[in-house]
Chain A
C-alpha cells in the first residue's frame, strides 16, 4: 500500500509571495519522515503541496514535480480527489465533522464516496478505530457526536477517519501541538504502528518527538523574513540529531537558533 514520494524542485506561492523554493527530496515508503524548522519556513506549505491542498487557497500555486510512485500528481488530467484519497492528511487542530456521529466521522471518506453497505462500513470503522487506538474508548458511544470527545480523542478520531480510506501516504501537520503529553504519547505510539502500512510525513516543533518517531528528518529554514523557505538538510534522523552536515541544522537542533 505505502508509496514513494518524490519532490523535484517544488516551489510554492501564495499569490506573488514565494513561500518555499526548490525543494527536492525523496520519501521512502513505510517510513516516517519528520519535517522540522522554525515557524514560517514553509513546512506546512510543502506538506500541503504533497496532497494538492495548497491550491485550495485563492491565488496559491505550486511549481515543480511531485510524484507518487512515479506518477506526477500535478499532471493536467490527474483527478485531485484521487490524489487526496491516496494521500491523507491530519491537521494541527482536530477537525471532526460537527454534524456527524463518531461512526459517521470515521467512515465519512467511504460513505461520501459511495460506499453504502452497512457491513462494509461497520468493519472499516472498527478496523480504523482499532488502528487509531480509539476503539475501546468509543465502541459504546459510536452514535454520539465526534465533537464530544476530548482533544486527544478527537485527534485520534481524525487519524482513524484518515486511515479508514486506506491511503498510501499520511501527512500530519503538527498533530500533537494542541494535545497533552498523554495524548501525544498515544499518537506517537500510533505513528510507530502505522509505519508498517503507510508512508508518513509529520511536521513537528518538538525535537524529541522527531527523534522518537521518525526514521528520517528534513530540516527547513529561511535565511531572513520574506525569503522563501528551503530544504537545508535531509538525512537519517540519528545523523541529523548527532552529526548534522550543516552548521544551521546543528544550531537549530541545539537550540541556538529558531
Chain B
C-alpha cells in the first residue's frame, strides 16, 4: 500500500499551538512599536490614523512570523486570514459608527419640544427657535403615500414576473424594471414635474399647475417601484417550488397558493426590501424639492399647495445664512434617521410576529 503524504499535515493530530495570550501580546507590542515610531518619533510624519494602520500591518507581519515559527505555515496563514477578516470588518464598521456618532452628538442640541411642534413660519435669521414639525408632516405623508402606491404595485409586479409571467411580456417587464432601477432620482423629479405638476394637476386646479406633496409622492413612487419589485422578485424566487407543488397537490388554486403559501413564506424578505426602498425614498431631496416646492409653514394637505419634507429641510437649513440653522439641520437629520430606524424595527417586529414560535 502506498501512502500519499499531504504537505503540512502530519500524522500527529496535535500540533504546537501559540498560547492564548500570544496574539494579544503581539497586538500590544505592535501598537507600542507603531506609537513610538510614528507618533512620537515623527517617522513618516503621521498622525494617529497612520499610527493605527501601521500598528495593524505590524501586527499581521509579527503574527505571521511568530506563528510560522511555532505552529507552522498553514496555521500561520489561518491566523493572518482571520485577522485580515476582522480588520476588514472593523474598517467597514468605522464609517457607520462615525456617522452615527456625528449625527447624535451634533443632532441632540435642538431635539426639544419646539422642534417637534413648530414650523419655520416667521422665524428670521436671528431667531434661535423654530422647528421641523411641518417637514416631519411632509415626510410622513409623502413617504406614506408613496409606499401605499408602490408597495402593492411592486409586489403585484413581482408576483406576475415570478409566478405567472412566461415568455416575452415577463422578460420585457423585467428588463424595464432593471432600467428603471438605474434612473437618476432627479430624472424622476423632472418626469413628475412635466407629467403631473404642470400636466395632470391642471385638471384639478382650474387649469393651473402647482406644487404639492402628492407630486413628491409620485416622484418617490417612480424611484421605489423598481426597488420594491426587484427585491420582492428575488424573495419570491427563494421560495422552494416544493411548497407551491405541495399546495397545488391539495387542490388549492394557484392564486390562493400565491396569497397564502408563497407570499407569507417570503414575507420577512419582502419587508426588508420594502424598508430599504422606504429608507431611500425618505432621504430623497432633489426630486422632492423640484415638485413639492418646499415650504416653511405647516401644510397638512398633501394634495394641494407646497409642502416641505425633512430632506428638503436639512438641505435648506444646512445652507441658510443663520448661526442657528446648522443645529436645526443636524437635528432634522437625526430625526430622519430615527424615523427610518423606527419604521424598520417596527416592520421587522411585525414580520416576525406573523411567524410562528
Q: Mark A146-185, 1 if CB is under 8 A from B, else 0.
A: 0000000000001001100101000000000000000000
Q: Are A97 and B245 in contact (CB under 8 A)?
A: no
Identify the closest chain A residue to B252 (Cβ).
A112
Are B248 and A84 in contact, with the CB atoms below 8 A?
Answer: yes
Of residues 208 through 262 on chain B, the ones whose CB sits less than 8 Å from some CB of chain A are: 240, 242-253, 256-257, 260-261
A108 touches B247 (CB 8 A): yes
With A95-B243, A101-B356 known as contacts, the answer to whether A113 contacts B249 (CB < 8 A) is: no
Min CB–CB distance A155 → chain B (angstroms): 12
Partner of B256, one of A83, A89, A112: A112
B353 within 8 A of A: no
Please state if A82 and B246 are interface contacts (CB–CB under 8 Å): no
Does A81 count as interface, using CB distance less than 8 angstroms? Answer: yes
Is B264 located at the chain interface by the 8 A CB criterion? yes
Interface presence of B265 (CB below 8 A): yes
Size of the A side of the interface (Cβ < 8 Å), in residues, is 34
B240 nearest CB neighbor, chain A only: A95
Contact with A along B96-113 (1 / 0, CB 8 A): 000000000000000000
Is A221 at the interface (CB under 8 A from chain B)? no
B250 touches A85 (CB 8 A): yes
If A58-B166, A81-B253, A158-B246 touch, does A97 touch B356 (CB 8 Å cutoff)? no
Q: Do B242 and A91 touch across chains, with their CB atoms under 8 A apart? A: yes
Question: Which A residues are in CB contact (< 8 Å) with B77?
Answer: none
Interface centre among B242, B246, B252, B260 (most CB of A within 10 A): B246
> B257 — which chain A residues lie within 8 A by C-beta?
112
Interface residues on B, range: 20 to 34
Chain A residues numbered 58-113 whose CB sits less than 8 Å from any CB in chain B = 58, 80-86, 88-89, 91, 93, 95-101, 108-109, 112-113
Query: What residue in chain A is nearest B166 (Cβ atoms)?
Result: A58
In the docked arrangement, what's the CA distance between A214 and B221, Å? Answer: 60
Given A93-B242, A112-B260, residue A88 in contact with residue B249 (CB < 8 A)? yes
Q: Which of chain A's residues have a CB closer than 8 A to the CB of B251?
A: 81-86, 109, 113, 165, 167
Contact residue among A81, A83, A95 (Cβ-Cβ distance under 8 Å from B246)? A95
CB contacts (< 8 Å) of A91 on chain B: these are 242, 245-246, 249
Q: Which residues of A contact B (CB under 8 A)?
A: 51, 53, 56, 58, 80-86, 88-89, 91, 93, 95-101, 108-109, 112-113, 143-145, 158, 161-162, 165, 167
In angstroms, Cα B250 to Cα A108, docked, is 8
Residues of B within 8 A of A162 (CB): 249-250
Give the one of B248, B250, B253, B354 with max A CB within 10 A. Answer: B250
Given A93-B242, A95-B240, A95-B243, A108 and B356 touching (CB < 8 A)? no
Give 4 new A-B contacts, CB below 8 A, not counting A97-B246, A158-B246: A89-B245, A99-B356, A109-B250, A144-B356
By beta carbon, the residue of chain A nearest B244 is A56
Give the nearest-CB partner of B268 in chain A.
A99
Q: Is the CB of B245 within 8 A of A109?
A: no
A95: contacting residue among B166, B242, B253, B256, CB under 8 A? B242
Q: CA A144 – CA B356 in complex, angstroms?
A: 7
Which residues of B lie under 8 Å from residue A109 when comparing CB positions?
250-252
With A97-B243, A97-B261 already in contact, the answer to whether A53 and B354 are too (CB < 8 A) is: no
A56–B245 alpha-carbon span in the complex (Å): 8
Inter-chain contacts of B355 with A (CB < 8 A): 99
* Complex-state Cα separation, A162 to B250, whole angstroms: 6
- Given the interface pairs A99-B354, A99-B355, the reply to whether A53 lies near B250 with Cβ below 8 Å is no
Which single member of B245, B256, B260, B357 contacts A53 (CB below 8 Å)?
B245
**Cα distance, A82 to B253, chains bound together (Å):** 9
A53 touches B249 (CB 8 A): yes
Query: Is the pair A161, B250 in contact by a Cβ cutoff of 8 Å?
Result: yes
CA distance A144 to B355 in the complex (A): 11
Q: Contacts A53-B245, A97-B261, A144-B356 hold; do A84 and B166 have CB atoms under 8 A apart?
A: no
Residues of A within 8 Å of B249, CB to CB, are 51, 53, 84, 88-89, 91, 162
Q: Which of B240, B252, B265, B356 touches A113 (beta carbons < 8 Å)?
A: B252
Contact B252 A97 (CB under 8 A): no
Q: Which of B305-357 contact A (CB under 8 A)?
A: 354-357
Q: How far is the CA of A93 from the CA of B243 in the complex (A)?
A: 11
What's the nearest-Cβ distance from chain A to residue B122, in Å? Answer: 54
Q: A97 to B265, Cβ gap below 8 A? A: yes
Name 24 interchain pairs, CB-CB below 8 A, sorted by A: A53-B245, A84-B249, A84-B250, A88-B249, A89-B245, A89-B249, A91-B245, A91-B246, A93-B242, A95-B242, A97-B246, A98-B265, A99-B354, A99-B355, A99-B356, A101-B356, A108-B250, A108-B252, A109-B250, A109-B251, A112-B252, A113-B252, A113-B256, A144-B357
Q: With A and B bound together, what is the CA distance between A143 and B267 in angstroms?
A: 20
